[in-house]
Amino acid sequence: MTRSNQVTANGLLPGEDTVTLSCKQVAARQLDEALALMQKHYYKKDSVNWDSLVVAAKSRLVASESCEDAFQTVNWCFSLLSEAHSYIMPSARAALYNNDTVQLKRKPPINQLVGEIKTELFTDRRIAYISVPWVSTTDSAICTRIADSLQNLIAGLDGSGISKWIIDLRKNTGGNCWPMLAGIGPLLGEGVCGYFVSGDDKVPIVYRNGAAMQGRHVRCRVSGLPYKTKLNNNIIILTGNRTASSGEIVALAFKGKKDVLQYGEPTAGLTTANSSYKLSDNSMLVLTVSQEADRNGIIYKGAINPDELIISDLLNPADDRVKAAAMMWLDIL
């Protein structure tokens, strides 16, 4: 967003490419578009007094004293609704997330788009550790690369006769869940692993034959033959307060699965699903459109509580007591 009092409306509507609008005019259009989408798709739309919200939002925008304040009007609406998971993604960040090559001036480094993947192997204990990263992109090539990387790492660890796994989601702050699910699929197992629930609609989240699917639609698939683990697995999922949004979808995908436990601290509590809508100023409305349920159809509202609550030692982060407790439990199985 611009810090000046004028912005050029580039590509907003046909014929407007040379028109200069005030930032309040652009913000007003952004607000109108967002409110229309919210009234149509927001999962709590039936409980909102839209007339009052529209009047309050437009009054706030008119009274805003800066461009930055004007462009915060949609987010202000969400704060008024106590909606923590929906927001406006600014145009620069939206271009990065969507791999918009028209808007991007340079190709971003991979560490701006994907978190770190870590693995460890404890052959004497038949335990493997793998972290599933946050993914802040919809670029199909990168998503496939992430899914391939996770499956290849699982294949390498599994080849050592591993039957006990620690899956770490504590740094997974969310983003795009589909490469995460496709990548971790060999440990997740075939079939339905959750649901998106909105009113009477219940859309299954599925891992099948190397693909993560939303209903019948493939959202991410590995590029080669999918891997299948050789042994029955005992799994412990590690979570914390930074496990959020799509990270929580992965945690929920393992809920109700045989021989799986969750250790650590409650998750961030963003257990709802978002859809994204590009707006005319190239920003993106990230809107909560459904609730989430585990494979047994149980809907989760707020944080996912672990089976074993273990508080991290913030004063001594090198002493990973959560991971140590998971290792200890797996040792006796």
- As a whole number of angstroms, the distance between CA 206 and CA 212 comes to 6
Give the mean model confidence (pLDDT) for residues 71-89: 98
Q: What is the pTM of this model?
A: 0.91
* Same domain? 74 vs 130: no
| CB-facing half-sphere around the CA of 192: CA atoms within 13 A | 13
Q: Is residue 105 part of a domain?
A: no
Q: Is residue 89 part of a domain?
A: no
Q: pLDDT tens digit string along 271-317?
A: 999 999 999 999 999 999 999 999 999 999 999 999 999 998 877 87
Helix (H), strand (E) counts: the chain:
9, 16
Query: Are 120 and 209 in a shared domain?
Result: yes
Are 184 and 270 found together in one domain?
Answer: yes
* 214 & 324 share domain: yes
Torsion region of 207: left, alpha or beta (phi above 0 gives left; psi -120 to 50 gives alpha) = beta
Domain boundary among 83, 99, 132: 83
Which residues, 6 or more positions from 250, have their beta carbon under 8 angstroms from its beta carbon? 132, 169, 172, 177, 180, 181, 184
Dist. CA 135–CA 133, nearest whole Å? 6
- Percentage of the chain exceeding pLDDT 90: 84
Please indicate, yes or no, whether residues 156 and 270 belong to a single structural domain of this protein: yes
Examine the domain organization and report whether 183 and 320 are in the same domain.
Answer: yes
Structural domain harbouring 19 = 6-83
The reply to whether 175 and 316 lie within a common domain is: yes
Tokens of 233: 């697995």
Task: Kindly state whether residues 117 and 79 are assigned to the same domain.
Answer: no
6 pLDDT exceeds 60?
A: no
Q: Same domain for 252 and 126?
A: yes
Segment 39-53 shows an average pLDDT of: 97
Chain centroid to Cα 165, Å, comes to: 23
Domain count, the chain: 2
Q: Give the C-alpha separation, 222 to 145, whole Å.
A: 8
- Whether residues 158 and 273 fall in one domain: yes
Neighbours of 20 (CB within 10 A): 10
pLDDT of residue 312: 87
Please, are residues 148 and 224 in contact by the beta-carbon 8 Å criterion?
A: yes
What pLDDT digit, counting tens, does each position of 194-215 carry? 999 999 999 999 999 999 999 9
Place of tokens 């439990």: 329
Instruction: Note the pLDDT tens digit of each residue in 134-192.
Output: 999 999 999 999 999 999 999 999 988 899 999 999 999 999 999 999 999 999 999 99
Question: Does 31 share its domain with 179?
Answer: no
Which residue reads 């209903």 in tokens? 215
